Amino acid sequence: MTQASMTQAPHTARVPGDAESFVDGPLPSAYDIPLEAVNPANPRLFAENAWQETFERLRAEDPVHFNETELAGRFWSLTRYEDIKQVDVDWKNFSSAKGIALGFPVDAPLPEGALKVSMFIAQDPPVHDVQRKAVAGVVAPSNLAKMESLIRSRTAAVLDSLPENTPFDWVDTVSIELTTMMLATLFDFPFEQRRKLTRWSDVVTAVPGRGIINSVEERRDELLQCLSAFTELWELRKREPGDDLVSMLAHGEETKDMQPMEFLGNLMLLIVGGNDTTRNTMTGSVYGLKKFPEQFAKLKADPSLIPNMVAEIIRWQTPLSYMRRTANADCELGGKQIRKNDQILMWYVSGNRDPSMFENPDAIDITRPNARSHLSFGFGLHRCMGNRLAELQLRILWEEILARFEDIEVLEEPERTYSSFVKGYTRLPVRVRRR
């Protein structure tokens, strides 16, 4: 998940996936450039909320689309629902073991200063299965049932603390706070230091030079701090195990002997998986329902729609834009010849807007009958382990919102994450009005 350091030279590819011609200056319309120049992996498309027509064009004209950039090498973009699902479940032909985000060509050396980590989501069976099993218990139905009252009490406390008729940032005050508290609980991490988890999560996915970190060396140094903190917890849990994720890893038969970079990789996976995705959907739900006020009104009139609304928001938001696979052998997809070791990007964000699967897909419809068919959690053996926890957190959040607030006024367009991988928000100014 690491990306190359950005250079200062304009009009060059700076990170894997940047479109060489469109790093600087105004973004052109996807319909105003040659089809072969369309690059859905340019982070600017997402930071500027300009991604929709790119995928609209690719779904219609070139649903298995080829790009090759200086840093990323060869990669293919799948943009239709059925093609994405087909590859997502076929781990034998399309491997996760060579990375889950767009990176450097398979045989290329990592840039100086980057860390070579390993994580179970970026593995194939049998390694994936046994390591996932070691931590899956933390989100087992019985454990979720135990956590529900804690999640509710924390959610209520955060919402009760919000100022009325005074602008504040929903991202920092609500979304980050709630997800970070949940993370601290899952890891049994020192609660007063919980914002470190947020920071490390952001560092993992940040593009160097875009405000969070300036270089891959800075990323490495901060992640080594993360490793150091969790190594201390590991040693403690070895002696005094609990029901947390670190204890499960430290005592799992298949994980207790992990090397440091494997431990760090799995920490990065669990932190990002538990933070970025849920927090961005929490923000996306407020933004989306205010963008479609008739749906907000429908929800207030009938709170029993909350579970389906949650599924629909997860579809509409799509907190991770894509996941990557790598071809294990030469093959054919959608009439295109794929080479061994080519990167395959399954664009969940596009599949979730595929009109052949979802009617009027760009709109939020909280009564959508097939909302739960979204791609956001993936399919097959790599389906998101924490999907039920994410849904639980979002359901409780909206139950508590409707119990307290007559309105949440969105004051400005949100500031969005500079990333083609994490589809998220960095700021959303709002004002609340209580009942």
Looking at the chain, the whole-number percentage of residues with pLDDT higher than 90 is: 54
**Residue 354 near residue 56 (C-beta atoms within 8 A):** no
In a domain, 15, yes or no: no
Instruction: Give the whole-angstrom CA distance, residue 163 versus residue 299.
Output: 23
- How does pLDDT run across 167-209, given as a tens digit for each residue? 999 999 999 999 999 888 888 899 999 989 888 888 887 777 7
Residue 235 pLDDT greater than 80, yes or no? yes
The CA-atom distances, in angstroms, between 73 and each of 105, 187, 335, 342, 393 are 5, 37, 21, 8, 39
Predicted pLDDT at 18: 46
In a domain, 322, yes or no: yes
In a domain, 98, yes or no: yes
Residue 116 pLDDT greater than 70, yes or no? no
Size of the chain in residues: 435
Instruction: Choose among 39, 48, 50, 49: nearest CA to 17.
Output: 39
- For 56, other C-beta atoms within 10 Å of its C-beta total 19
Instruction: Give the whole-angstrom CA distance, residue 133 versus residue 114.
Output: 29
Residue 12 pLDDT greater than 80, yes or no? no
Predicted pLDDT at 389: 83
| Domains in the chain, number | 1
Looking at the chain, the whole-number percentage of residues with pLDDT higher than 70 is: 86
Instruction: Give the whole-angstrom CA distance, residue 87 versus residue 57.
Output: 21
CATH of the domain at 424: 1.10.630.10
The per-residue DSSP string of 77-130 comes to EE-SHHHHHHHHT-TTTEESTT-SS--S-TTSPPPTT------GGG--TTHHHH
User: Mean pLDDT lowest for which of 11-25, 90-104, 136-150?
Assistant: 11-25
Q: How confident is the model at residue 4 (pLDDT cuts 50, 70, 90)?
A: very low
In a domain, 214, yes or no: yes
Of residues 122 and 286, the one with the higher pLDDT is 286
Average pLDDT, the chain: 85
User: What is the b/e burial string over 213-237, where b = at least 16 CB atoms within 10 angstroms of the residue's CB?
Assistant: bebbebbbebbeebbebbeebbeeb
Q: How confident is the model at residue 260 (pLDDT cuts 50, 70, 90)?
A: confident
* Residue range 293-298: mean pLDDT, rounded: 97
In a domain, 11, yes or no: no
Residue type, 19: A
- What is the enclosing helix (H) or strand (E) of 158? helix 141-160
User: Mean pLDDT lowest for which of 1-5, 154-158, 369-373, 396-400?
Assistant: 1-5
- What is the enclosing helix (H) or strand (E) of 179? helix 177-187
Residues 6 or more apart whose CB falls under 8 angstroms from that of 269 comprise 119, 120, 121, 122
- How does pLDDT run across 354-399, given as a tens digit for each residue? 999 999 999 999 999 999 999 999 887 666 767 888 899 999 999 9
Q: Quote the tokens at residue 227.
A: 């490793």
In a domain, 393, yes or no: yes
* Residue range 54-83: mean pLDDT, rounded: 95
In a domain, 10, yes or no: no
Instruction: Choose among 115, 122, 105: nearest CA to 325.
Output: 122
Residues 6 or more apart whose CB falls under 8 angstroms from that of 159 comprise 174, 400, 401, 404, 405
Q: What is the value of pTM for the model shown?
A: 0.86
Q: How confident is the model at residue 139 (pLDDT cuts 50, 70, 90)?
A: low
The CA-atom distances, in angstroms, between 168 and each of 105, 152, 158, 161, 387 are 43, 22, 13, 12, 29
* Residue range 394-412: mean pLDDT, rounded: 96
Residue 247 belongs to what domain range?
20-434
